Amino acid sequence: MAVKILIPTPLRPYAGKKDSVEVDAPTVNDALRSLTLQYRDLKKHLYTDDGRLRSFINIYVNDEDIRYLQKEATPLSGGETISIIPSIAGGSSAVADAIAESAKQMKLSNDEILRYSRHLIIPEVGMEGQLKLKAAKVLTIGAGGLGAPLGMYLAAAGVGTLGIVDFDVVDFTNLQRQVIHSTRDVGRPKLQSAKERLQGINPEIKIVGYEVRLSSENALDIIKDYDIIVDGTDNFPTRYLVNDACVLLGKPNVYGSIFRFEGQASILGMPEAPCYRCLYPEPPPPGLVPSCAEGGVLGVLPGIIGCIQANETIKLILGKGDTLAGRLLLFDALKMRFRELKLRQDPDCPMCGKNRTIQRLIDYEQFCGIPQQRAKDLEMSAHSDFEIDAPTLKQMIDRNDPVFILDVREPHEFQICRIPNSHLIPLGDLPVRINELDSAHLIVAHCKSGVRSAKACDFLRKAGFAKVKNLKGGILAWSDQVDPTVPKY
């Protein structure tokens, strides 16, 4: 009897764009091997070169993590659902009790009583709960897609002190989902824009801004004064940094992540509950998991996940309900479906396990392989054989030089804009369509910004193509340097 393997969005380009595949297999290992035999490009995303399952990929049978069953040898009887969960860019009386002590010194003004009246008439909140909200100090990391809705709802709910860490500026591409900012804010620091919007929503609260990049040098000093940390980050180094700082300081970490149509949420680092390293012991290699800038994200998705984070934060403050501690909530916007998986604390976790080996914050860019990737990129850019800039390509086109312009983006991106005379072969299709390319001609590959096309060039060189160059900066550079009528996205 067959088992169903659910394919997450980031891996679907390597699995024939399918969201699920059925295989006949007696064990999880056999099921995954059967899957990668059908879709060979998927193998490198699931397994290391020496055949081990990658540590940033978690496998669940129904709702159980195979690490706590029989791992890849877990037997299958048929009818099970196997979930591939890659890393994606109960009420706590302890937290609530600590906040309650501060709340004893608080009072609500008549204006505040009117403002929060719909809370005050809920028995689970009431005056006592609203005073806890007023006494609470919550730090949000990021004022972007996730930080926008959670910040607005926490401000509206009356969380007394909101801290915001963000050093970015508002861009036009942010406006499709980062609802805390408006068109007139483009070019302004996100922190400035966010503070103004939140203060407009609720002038009764205190907003503290940190216009810095969170780092190992400043994280502990910033985080230590807050009761709850809400992770709205979009990159792996900061995500591991936030996790480790929260565990070291004993702070709850309200986690959320998004990609295209899918989101995840949980509460990490609670006593007796797992931390982020329990879920994903190691980060993916740089570039293997696409960012929202490369892969896209449905505009309302961060609103849904951010609101879930805000909801969990409020429950922690009130000490009410069952929180997501020990559970991973998965959301699929296309199917409008929520799923829940059990999370367990890894007793051997180097951060929160019984024998902790990480005693201080480390170099997280080094841990995530960023410097090595930068060095590789610099090495490639230093060789003219590897890259070509947009003006040079334009000159070659004007001279009618024999050049094959290979566009490795997706078909829907090709519809947005294109370079004249370019040929579309999406990166995921390249291995099976390589016969369409002539190794005698110079091939210039491009994508949106140069990341995917660099992978395409690397693949083609290994396949024996000697005349291959990557368009530096992709079609965005073409728009900036050659033809400004080409729309940017």
Residues 152 and 199 sit within 8 Å (Cβ to Cβ): no
Q: Which of 278, 292, 352, 457 is catalytic?
A: 292
Question: What distance in Å separates the CA atoms of residue 401 and residue 368, rounded to the nearest whole number?
Answer: 41
Among this protein's residues, is 447 annotated catalytic?
yes
Q: Which two tokens stand for residue 190?
A: 């996100």
Among this protein's residues, is 292 annotated catalytic?
yes
> Amino acid identity, residue 279?
L
DSSP state of 425: -
What are the DSSP calls for 267-336, one per residue? EES-TTS--HHHH-SSPPPTTTSPPHHHH-B-TTHHHHHHHHHHHHHHHHHHT-S--SBTEEEEEETTTT
Q: Which of 215, 218, 217, 219 is nearest to 229 (CA)?
A: 219
Burial of 76 (0-12, 13-18, 19+ CB in 10 A): buried
CA dihedral 72, 77, 79, 82 (to 10 degrees): 0
Give me the sign of the Cα torsion angle 445, 447, 450, 451.
negative
3-state secondary structure 23-68: ECCCEHHHHHHHHHHHCHHHHHHHECCCCCECCCEEEEECCEEHHH
Length of the chain equals 489
CB atoms within 10 A of CB 186: 15
Cα separation values, 384 from 392, 468, 473, Å: 12, 11, 15
Q: Which of 209, 174, 184 is nearest to 195 (CA)?
A: 209
β-pair type (327-332, 262-268): antiparallel
Q: Which two tokens stand for residue 221?
A: 């000093």
Residues 328 and 85 sit within 8 Å (Cβ to Cβ): yes
Q: Which of 278, 368, 447, 457 is catalytic?
A: 447
Please tell me whether residue 467 adopts helix, strand or coil conformation: coil
Residues 302 and 259 sit within 8 Å (Cβ to Cβ): no
The phi-psi region of residue 413 (left if phi > 0; otherwise alpha if psi is between -120 and 50; otherwise beta) is alpha
Residues 460 and 437 sit within 8 Å (Cβ to Cβ): yes
Question: What distance in Å separates the CA atoms of residue 21 and residue 360, rounded to the nearest whole number?
Answer: 43
Question: What distance in Å separates the CA atoms of residue 258 and residue 330, rounded to the nearest whole number?
Answer: 10
Q: Which residues are catalytic?
A: 292, 447
